[in-house]
Amino acid sequence: MASLVLKDIAKSYGAVKVLHGVDLAIEKGEFIVFVGPSGCGKSTLLRMIAGLEEITGGEMEIDGQTVNDVPPSKRGIAMVFQSYALYPHMSVYDNMAFGMRIAGQSRAEIDRRVREAARILQLEPYLDRLPKALSGGQRQRVAIGRAICRNPKVFLFDEPLSNLDAALRVATRIEIARLKEQMADTTMIYVTHDQVEAMTLADRIVVLSAGRIEQVGAPLELYDNPANLFVAQFIGSPAMNIFPVTLVEGGARSRLALPSSALVTLPVETPYEDAGKAAHLGLRPEDITIAAEGDVLFEGRVELVEALGEVTLLYVEGPVEGQPVVVKLPGVSNVEKGARLCFTAPMNKRHLFDANGRSYRNRISR
């Protein structure tokens, strides 16, 4: 399998710049997931890796070889699209074998690869069926099997589960996770807008925004230590609550003034020169709990209760007018709409960002 290196990759459509100097190194055998909002450039970047989009600037290497001008068929890449793109008149076997037949592979080699891919994806009982006789999840597995048969250096997945309903999406995601375990040395790059897919499948996640990489890291690294406000609010559902605050004093333990004038202590070594400056306090909904007497971060009236069974979501009138705070409590809660409560969060779950949105943890570590 192959390593992949992107050096200052840029993409423009005329005067419109879509990607701005992307740098990324992907090791052999890694499962990399690109995430970001619509229009951030993640699918464009994937298509550039595949050779389906021209590289405007920078250099792309696969196994040390520059491939900027190498056609898609020569890059050793197989791509699974959002659409299954199966031939409706061909059986599952023939759909999976078609590319190898065009490439002139021997009948014995084609049969071996098709049956091995069918075994991996549990498609053996369906090899003689037409696509119309398969479920959506099975059709997507056929599309993945077709890619496996090509024995590529790199697998590319462009939102392969987005056309499936919720139950099929979960089942097919599990199949892809199993596929990765069975093909541990295979390099895979996966584009999705679904956080659950990203968090459960990725070795590393690449978070993109407006054509730039905001942060690269393991799923829990991005969750626990977001580099900036964008990553903090993009990773996690519901999104992180953000409060505008003022740094009251520096030192070993920073103190903040919430808009409600409450003082909050954070375990961050804030430089003294930042005292008096604006900042942002971030609290994930699942880290907020109902406070006993003592360490109270804020109080507010519960405006809405969503009982989901496994969790209960509270929408609370918080310190900032017009900006409800989302609180995620485990299980079923007996909190009622209209209740006025005090809330807190563990010290090590309080995130602090400077006025420019950069994490203080990230800033101080450098």
226 and 131 part of one domain: yes
CATH of the domain at 146: 3.40.50.300
Q: Which of 190, 205, 233 is the last residue of a domain?
A: 233
152 and 248 part of one domain: no
338 and 321 part of one domain: yes
243 and 303 part of one domain: yes
309 and 163 part of one domain: no
Q: Which of 212, 233, 254 is the last residue of a domain?
A: 233
Q: Which of 233, 253, 276 is the last residue of a domain?
A: 233
CATH of the domain at 304: 2.40.50.140
* In the chain, % of residues over pLDDT 70: 90
CA distance 82 to 103: 24
Residues 6+ positions from 108 with CB-CB distance below 8 Å: none
Walk across the sheet containing 263-266 and list its strands.
263-266, 254-257, 241-249, 278-283, 350-354
Which of the residue ranges 18-27, 137-146, 149-158, 339-348 has the most confident prediction, judged by mean pLDDT? 18-27
What total number of domains does the chain contain? 2
Residue 249 scores a pLDDT above 70: no
120 and 264 part of one domain: no
What is the pLDDT at residue 271?
Answer: 55
What is the pLDDT at residue 348?
Answer: 84
Please measure the distance between the N-terminal and C-terminal CA atoms of the chain and give it in whole angstroms.
34
208 and 262 part of one domain: no
276 and 319 part of one domain: yes
225 and 240 part of one domain: no
pLDDT by residue (tens digit) across 179-230? 888 777 889 999 998 888 899 999 999 999 999 999 999 999 999 999 999 9
Q: Please state, rounded to an integer, the average pLDDT across all residues of the chain.
A: 85
Q: Which pLDDT band, with edges at 50, 70 and 90, does 264 fall under?
A: low
CA distance 151 to 311: 44
**Residue that wins the pLDDT comparison between 168 and 248:** 168
pLDDT by residue (tens digit) across 62-87? 988 999 999 988 888 888 887 778 88
Query: pTM for the full model?
Result: 0.86
For range 31-43, the mean pLDDT: 92
Pick the closest to residue 206 from 4, 2, 363 (CA basis).
Answer: 4
Which domain covers residue 178, as residue numbers? Answer: 4-233
Walk across the sheet containing 4-13 and list its strands.
16-26, 4-13, 57-62, 65-66
Walk across the sheet containing 298-307 and list its strands.
289-290, 340-344, 298-307, 311-316, 325-330
